[in-house]
Amino acid sequence: MTTIYTTLLYLIQPLIWLRLWLRGRKAPAYRKRWAERYGFCAGKVSPGGILLHSVSVGETLAAVPLVRALRHRYPTLPITVTTMTPTGSERAQSAFGKDVHHVYLPYDLPGAVHRFLNTVDPRLVIIMETELWPNLIKALHDRQIPLVIANARLSARSAAGYKKLGKFMRRLLQRITLIAAQNEEDGARFIELGLKRSQLAITGSLKFDISVTPELAARAVTLRRQWAPRRPVWIATSTHEGEESMMLEAHRRLLSHFPDLLLILVPRHPERFESAREMTQKSGFSYTLRSSGEIPSSGTQVVIGDTMGELMLLYGIADLAFVGGSLVERGGHNPLEPAAHAIPVLMGPHTFNFKDICSKLKQADGLITVTDTASLVHEIGNLLVDDDYRRYHGRHAVEVLHQNQGALQRLLQLLEPYLPPRNH
């Protein structure tokens, strides 16, 4: 099975190059750093430390508190963070700066994986959520390098797909040192696929272990005073194709009742920034781009968030937030970031990427579900009119966040046996 998988992976390499090149038309970063994708990273990393892989933006954000805690606990150990996408890469660089090394994780080809591991030579590898690369897992097992899957989740649909792989899947899972699953349900699915109970721990979700730092809160207050000292502000983030037009239409309808309302529109991917700008312009709105550094005037109706790594700051300016990827079938993005600012959170019905988190928020009145433009306008109108109602939803959202924290401490304890003793 591994041979078939590896052969296919070699055969599709020309298609992968073509895809990277085509994606590079909209996002030039896809055409850069190809050598890293084949394990050539000499001079970019320091060997002998911790390797942490987070495939893209969501996983990188969940990894931020973990990386900071590891830096604090093991200050002499180098940390290398790998991603697969340019957006994940930008987020890693903006979150960690020079504190950690950053390269792309190579494709799961034996030669590339060995070249990469020879250079990085990690003493511990942590993979965020569920990225199961057979050749990487085998190479780590052969080299006796512990591998921990942190914040692991496994949907029923993914589990059904993996189940078809039978013995191959069982062997793969048994080569993993430890899986730290988000909840019992996810854990049970891994067991069913062949993981031993001794390899499983339930930690809760790391996504709850975020907080608004005093520095961030201060920056948000300053920006709010500059941008909208006496205006209501709503933010629509992580929007996908089809959602920006809905947000702009909702904003148009809301302006007839709240003429000084400001919308901050933040598309999910950098390649959508320009089309969001064009749409906003065609709709006749007065707008500014966040990247311009321009302070919105009292006549500015839309700010387009066309920068990376500023989402938590921009949430801090808003009175309420819509989180995208949820009115179109993308499974939604992280509702806990706005919740951390104690503002109401609105999402569409498609939230399968955050099923557990969204159901907790929904049960506690910390999440409002909308189904289309009309219901979005209706709910935002209610929240803007009634300060108590708005505070009620914001308070309940942040309470859910606080009640479910603790996964980070549990995970750090589980990692201790694989790392050098700490100087307390």
Element (H, E) at 234: strand 233-239
Element (H, E) at 244: helix 243-255
**How much is the CA Rg of the chain, to the nearest whole Å?**
22
Q: CA 273 to CA 305: how far, in whole Å?
A: 8
Burial state string for 85-106 with b = 16 or more CB within 10 A and e = fewer than 16: bbbbbbbbbebbeeebbbbbbb
Q: CA 341 to CA 336: how far, in whole Å?
A: 9
Q: Which two tokens stand for residue 310?
A: 């500023």
Q: CA 169 to CA 147: how far, in whole Å?
A: 16
Annotated catalytic residues are 59
Q: CA 132 to CA 2: how far, in whole Å?
A: 13
CB 54 within 8 A of CB 149: no
Coil, helix or strand at residue 12: coil
Q: Using CB atoms within 10 Å of the CB of residue 422, give its burial: 0 to 12 exposed, 13 to 18 middle, 19+ buried.
A: exposed
Give the residue among 177, 231, 222 at the shortest CA–CA distance from 384: 231
Burial state string for 344-355 with b = 16 or more CB within 10 A and e = fewer than 16: bbbbbeebebbe
Number of Cβ within a 10 Å radius of residue 226: 11
Q: Which two tokens stand for residue 104?
A: 């792309």
Q: CA 190 to CA 196: how far, in whole Å?
A: 9
Q: What are phi and psi of 127, to 5 degrees?
A: -115, 130
CB 288 within 8 A of CB 276: no
Helices (H), ranges, 263-386? 273-282, 311-315, 336-340, 355-363, 373-385
How many angstroms separate the Cα of 335 from the Cα of each of 238, 351, 366, 375, 376?
Answer: 11, 10, 10, 18, 16
